[in-house]
Structure 1
């Protein structure tokens, strides 16, 4: 009796269909909302620019703040962000 139940259970496990995740889900952005418009440049330890991708349709600017290693999102449309990124790129080219 136990052998029959075991065989039936084994057949069900083999026959059952396992579905995985088909690709990256939409809307998996790191930044929620627009983000902050300005952070003091002396408090910025690291800047990461994440371009639009299939999983997140918007440009994201993630800033790591000194001392507490907190990550904040900058609003890519703010004048401060555009000016700061332009200055970083100019320094990198030189």
Structure 2
């Protein structure tokens, strides 16, 4: 009886842990291609998100000093130069 009670208790704990996990819905952060150019002086942080199972395209997101986030077009010359500079700094 005690073994069964312990097993049921552990099963309930496991079920609660699985329910609490967040799973990606398979969506990209950037809905469209994004902007081609952003003023460099307004950029605070650059995020480069590689393709993944939840989103099949590379995404480049810049956090602006105005606390706004913008998606950049990965195919634009500006974005390619920005990525190159960011990788050189690393």
Tell me, yes or no, whether TM beats 0.5.
Answer: yes
Separation in 2, partners of 1:61, 1:24: 19
Counterpart residue number, 1:25:
25
Rg (Cα) greater in structure: 1
Q: For 1:38, what is the secondary structure of its paired residue?
A: coil
Question: What CA distance in whole angstroms lies between the structure 1 residues aligned with 2:36 and 2:84?
Answer: 15
Distance 1:76 1:32 in 2: 13
CA distance in 2, matches of 1:75, 1:49: 12
The CA distance in 1 between the partners of 2:68 and 2:32, in whole Å, is 17
2:79 aligned partner: 81
Which residue does 1:40 correspond to in 2?
39
Aligned length: 69
> 1:8 aligns to what?
none
**Structure 2 residues not aligned, in runs of 5+:** 1-18
Moved segments of 4+, more than 6 Å: none
Distance in 2, Cα, partners of 1:57 & 1:90 = 25
State the TM-score, normalized to the length of structure 1: 0.68
Q: Write the distance in 2 (CA, Å) between the matches of 1:24 and 1:90.
A: 31
**Partner Cα separation in structure 1 for residue 63 and residue 24 of structure 2:** 26
Higher-helix-fraction structure: 2
